[in-house]
A and B are shown apart, each in its own frame.
Chain A
Amino acid sequence: MQENLTKRSSRDRRAERRCKLTLLAALALGAALIAGGLWGLEQFQASGFDQESGFAHVHDLAGPIDGLYEAGIKPLLSSLGAAQREVLDGKVNALLVSDWTENTGEDQTARVERTLSAYEGERRSRMQMELLSVSYAVSGPKVSTAQKKALAALDDGRRAALRAGLLAAIIDETAPLPAETAAGLEGLSGSERKAMLMQLFFTSVNSKNQPLPTAQINELKKSVRDGQARLSAFTWAAEGSVSWLRQVLVSGSRTAILAGILLAIDVALLTLLLYMDHHWEINFKWLAILAIIDFMLVFQVLPMAYLMIKAFFPEGSFTFEVFRRLYTYSMNLGAIRNTLIASTVTMVLGTLLAFPLAWLVGRTNMYGKKFFRFLFVLTYMVPPYVGAMAWLRLLNPNVGNINQVLRVLFALGDGPGPLNIYSLGGMIWVLTTFYYPYAFITISRAMEKMDPSLEEASRISGASPMMTVLKVTLPMMTPSLIAGALLVFVCAASCYGIPSIIGAPGKVHTVTTRIIEYNSLGGQGISDATGLAVFLMVIAIVILYVSDFVVAKRQYITVSGKSTRPNIVDLGRWRVPLTALVSLFAVLVILIPFATILFTSFKVDVGKLVMAPGNFTTRQWQTIFSRSETMECLKNSLIYSVIAATVGIVVACTMSYLLQRTRIKGRKLPDFLITLGSGTPSVVIALGLIMTMRGNFGVNIYNTAYIIIVAYLVKYLMMGMRTVVSAMSQIHVSLEESSQVSGASWTQTMFRITGPLIFPSIAAGWFLIFIPCFYELSMTTLLYSNSTKTIGYQLYEYWTYTSQPQACAMAFGILMIIVGLNFVLNKLTKGEFSI
Chain B
Amino acid sequence: MSTVTVRNVSKAFGDNVVLKEFNQTFADHEFITLLGPSGCGKTTMLRMIAGFEKPSSGEILIGDKVVSSDKVFLPPEKRDIGMVFQSYAVWPHMTVFENVAYPLRIKKMKREQADRDVERALEIVHLSQYRDRIPSQLSGGQQQRVALARALVAKPTLLLLDEPLSNLDAKLRESMRFEIKEIQKALGITVVYVTHDQTEAMAMSDRIILINRGVVQQVASPEEIYNRPVNQFVADFLGKVDFLRAEIRDGRAYLDGTGQSIPFSGDKMGRVELAVRPERISLSTESGDLSGTLESQYYLGDVNDCRVLVGEKRIRVVAPPESFARMKPGQQVYLTFREELAFDDDGSLDEKLKIVT
A residues with CB within 8 A of B: 1-2, 4-5, 7, 9-11, 278, 732, 734-735, 737-745, 748, 752-753, 756-757
Contact = CB atoms under 8 A, between A and B. Distances in A.
Interface string B71-104: 1010111111111011101011100000000110
A745 B78 CA distance: 9
Interface residues of B, number: 39
B150 A11 contact: no
Contact of A735 (B17, B91, B107): B91
A10 B57 CA distance: 11
Contacts of B50: 737, 741
B86 A734 contact: yes
Given A732-B89, A734-B87, A743-B154, A5 B12 contact: yes
B147 interface: yes
Contact of A737 (B10, B20, B52, B106): B52
A759 to B, nearest CB: 9
A797 B81 CA distance: 66
Contacts of B103: 742-744
Given A5-B10, A11-B70, A738-B147, A743 B89 contact: no
A748 B106 contact: yes
Contacts of A2: 17
B56 interface: yes
> Could you say which of A4, A7, A740, A743 has the most chain B C-beta atoms within 10 Å of its C-beta?
A743
A829 to B, nearest CB: 12
A742 B85 CA distance: 12
B57 A7 contact: yes
A5 B56 contact: yes
B86 A743 contact: no
B21 interface: yes
Given A2-B17, A734-B85, A756-B93, A743 B80 contact: yes
Interface in B269-301: none
A4 B93 contact: no
Closest 6 CB pairs of A and B: A742-B103, A734-B89, A9-B70, A734-B85, A738-B89, A741-B83
26 contacts: A1-B17, A2-B17, A5-B12, A5-B17, A7-B57, A10-B70, A278-B14, A734-B87, A737-B50, A737-B52, A737-B76, A738-B83, A738-B150, A740-B75, A740-B76, A741-B76, A741-B77, A741-B83, A742-B102, A743-B78, A743-B80, A743-B103, A743-B107, A744-B102, A744-B103, A748-B106
Given A5-B12, A11-B70, A742-B150, A757 B106 contact: no
Interface in B155-180: 160
Contacts of A748: 106
A696 B83 CA distance: 58
Nearest to B107: A743
A740 B21 contact: no
Interface in B99-117: 102-103, 106-107
Contact of B106 (A1, A5, A11, A744): A744
A11 B91 CA distance: 36
A444 to B, nearest CB: 25
B12 to A, nearest CB: 5
Which of A1, A9, A10 is most buried by chain B, counting CB atoms within 10 A of its CB? A9
A11 B80 contact: no
A737 B86 CA distance: 12
Nearest to A740: B76
Contacts of A745: 75, 77
Contacts of A752: 102
A739 B105 CA distance: 11
A1 B89 contact: no
Contacts of B86: 734
